[in-house]
């Protein structure tokens, strides 16, 4: 358990006792259960993980020092032996974790499965080199992605799943040389991407926000069959995927499964939906960042073909967020609505480029403030309300970067100041409305 969580739990227990929610005996029982020190098995598992971390690079360095002097057959034997050892290690660690579940054992099994995937990818590369197969980076990456999906599903490895997502990025983007990207109907891409997404959402694979974020970004890139790499992904496609994922994730994590009971499968779907919504928030931040890059004069106009689909995606996500509340199924998801509204504001500012107006290099105050700074501050507010320190910190970092960038390169500092003051006045009006609403609610309660 992380120290910050321990400290917060202690504070919460004292607060709950003072408010009469629990008594002293209940507080002591909860603290004894949740804050109990880890047993010896926890330490042993961590030590095993440390051994793996130290020994694996040592073996790799030793083999690399003598690699050029080894015959091709010897290299194959070395790689196959290392791969077999990694697979056996993952199997033994998985068996021990199944008998006595613990986080260190799970980490060791996950690391061994990921290492086996890396070694299998190296073996494939060596086979191609030995038999003089023409180089095909995208085809090789697609093969590694499919192999990573199989490894992740068999071993239930989050590390192998993340490696599969990374290989999918290379397979979709390829060398950033401006060559043709694979078409949007590539069967291998959709097979691997759908398999990973289904594994994350059903709980078969650990639903981790970083892996889902990478998967959503590569989906956004694949929709446009872009070439030249991740930096060319339009913010419109990022925002379209993010809006749909945010709405779907909230629906799965919220009230969409209310009628299916509380069985473990439903709980795993809820966890997967929450992770998907969290990853969608990260993609929203990337979309706002992409718009902000255009506010400083880099990048082109949005594609007209994606304007209507993106607007429809925002509308669908808003409906998924608001409709359960309209039917009396839980509170209004204010942080998610703020994230969606901030992203929509950034997209609407981006649309001015599609209507024939775009900022010149050196930065436009209107674009920067209303397309970058204000939406990023919206993410800061959402992160504070939802107690998500990462979202809060990254949002503040984006705001600080945009302000410093505009002060350094802007040719219209007066306009920049006027737009900042206008946005500050709007925030002050929102604050006044919030206080007025609080007083009205307090009066009705009294």
Predicted local confidence at residue 261, as pLDDT: 52
For residue range 186-240, list pLDDT tens digits in order. Answer: 788 888 889 999 998 888 888 888 889 989 988 888 876 544 444 456 788 889 9
Residue 34 domain flag: no
The pLDDT of residue 297 is above 60: no
How many Å apart are CA 292 and CA 287, to the nearest integer? 9
Residue 383 domain flag: yes
DSSP per residue over 21-75, as a string? SS-HHHHHHHHHHHSPPP-HHHHHHHHHHHHHHHHHHHHHHHHHHTGGGS-HHHH
Backbone angles phi, psi at 302, to 5 degrees: -70, 155
| Phi-psi category of residue 162: left, alpha or beta, with phi > 0 → left and psi -120 to 50 → alpha | alpha
For residue range 406-434, list pLDDT tens digits in order. Answer: 888 777 888 889 989 999 999 899 888 88
The sign of the CA dihedral 103, 105, 108, 109 is negative
Q: Domain range for residue 393? A: 234-446
Residue 134 domain flag: no
The sign of the CA dihedral 30, 32, 35, 41 is negative
First-to-last alpha carbon distance for the chain, in angstroms, is: 42
Residue 178 domain flag: no
Residue 247 domain flag: yes
pTM exceeds 0.95 for this model:
no
Residue 380 domain flag: yes
DSSP per residue over 333-352, as a string? -HHHHHHHHHHHHHHHHHHH
For residue range 345-402, list pLDDT tens digits in order. Answer: 988 888 875 554 455 544 578 888 888 899 999 999 998 888 888 888 889 999 998 8
Burial classification of residue 36, based on how many CB atoms lie within 10 Å of its CB (0-12 exposed, 13-18 middle, 19 or more buried): exposed
For residues 237 and 306, the answer to whether their CB atoms sit within 8 Å is yes
The rounded percent of the chain whose pLDDT value lies above 70 is: 74
Residue 97 domain flag: no
How confident is the model over 77-83, as a mean pLDDT?
Answer: 75
Residue 229 domain flag: no
**Count of domains forming the chain:** 2
Determine the distance from the C-alpha atom of residue 1 to the mean position of all C-alpha atoms in its chain, rounded to a whole number. 22
Residues 6 or more apart whose Cβ sits within 8 Å of residue 308? none
For residue 180, what pLDDT band results from cuts at 50, 70 and 90?
A: very low
Kindly list the distances between the CA atom of residue 110 and the CA atoms of 271, 300, 410, in Å, as whole numbers in the listed order: 20, 42, 49
């Amino acid at each position: 358990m992380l120290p910050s969580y321990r400290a917060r739990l202690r504070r919460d227990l004292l607060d709950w006792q003072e408010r009469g929610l629990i008594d002293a005996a209940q507080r002591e029982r909860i603290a004894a259960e949740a804050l109990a020190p880890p047993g010896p098995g926890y330490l042993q598992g961590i030590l095993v993980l440390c051994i793996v971390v130290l020994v694996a690079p040592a073996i790799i360095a030793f083999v690399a020092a003598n690699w050029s002097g080894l015959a091709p057959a010897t290299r194959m034997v070395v790689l196959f032996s290392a791969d077999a050892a990694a697979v056996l290690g993952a199997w033994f660690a998985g068996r021990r974790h199944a008998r006595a579940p613990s986080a260190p054992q799970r980490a060791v099994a996950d690391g061994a499965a990921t290492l086996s995937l890396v070694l299998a990818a190296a073996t494939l590369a060596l086979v191609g080199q030995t038999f003089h197969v023409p180089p095909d980076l995208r085809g090789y990456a697609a093969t590694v992605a499919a192999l990573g999906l199989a490894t992740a599903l068999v071993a239930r490895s989050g590390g192998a799943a993340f490696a599969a997502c990374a290989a999918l990025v290379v397979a979709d983007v390829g060398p950033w040389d401006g060559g043709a990207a694979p078409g949007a109907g590539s069967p291998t891409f959709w097979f691997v991407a759908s398999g990973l997404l289904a594994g994350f959402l059903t709980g078969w694979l650990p639903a981790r926000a970083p892996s889902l974020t990478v998967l959503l970004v590569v989906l956004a890139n694949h929709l446009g069959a872009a070439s030249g790499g991740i930096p060319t992904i339009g913010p419109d496609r990022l925002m379209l995927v993010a809006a749909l994922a945010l709405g779907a994730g909230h629906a799965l994590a919220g009230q969409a499964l209310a009628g299916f009971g509380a069985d473990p499968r439903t709980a795993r779907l809820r966890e997967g939906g929450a992770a998907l919504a969290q990853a969608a928030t990260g993609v929203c931040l990337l979309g706002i960042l992409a718009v902000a890059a255009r506010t400083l004069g880099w990048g082109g106009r949005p594609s007209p073909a994606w304007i209507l689909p993106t607007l429809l995606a925002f509308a669908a996500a808003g409906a998924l967020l608001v409709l359960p509340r309209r039917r009396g199924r839980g509170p209004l998801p204010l942080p998610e609505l703020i994230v969606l509204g901030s992203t929509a504001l950034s997209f609407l500012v981006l649309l001015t480029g599609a209507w024939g107006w775009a900022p010149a290099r050196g930065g436009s105050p209107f674009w920067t403030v209303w397309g970058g700074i204000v939406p990023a501050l919206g993410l800061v507010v959402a992160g504070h309300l939802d107690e998500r320190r990462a979202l809060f910190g990254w949002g503040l970092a984006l705001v600080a970067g945009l302000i410093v960038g505009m002060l350094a390169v802007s040719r219209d500092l007066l306009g920049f100041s006027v737009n900042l003051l206008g946005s500050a006045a709007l925030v002050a009006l929102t604050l006044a409305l919030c206080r007025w609403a609080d007083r009205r609610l307090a009066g009705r309660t009294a």
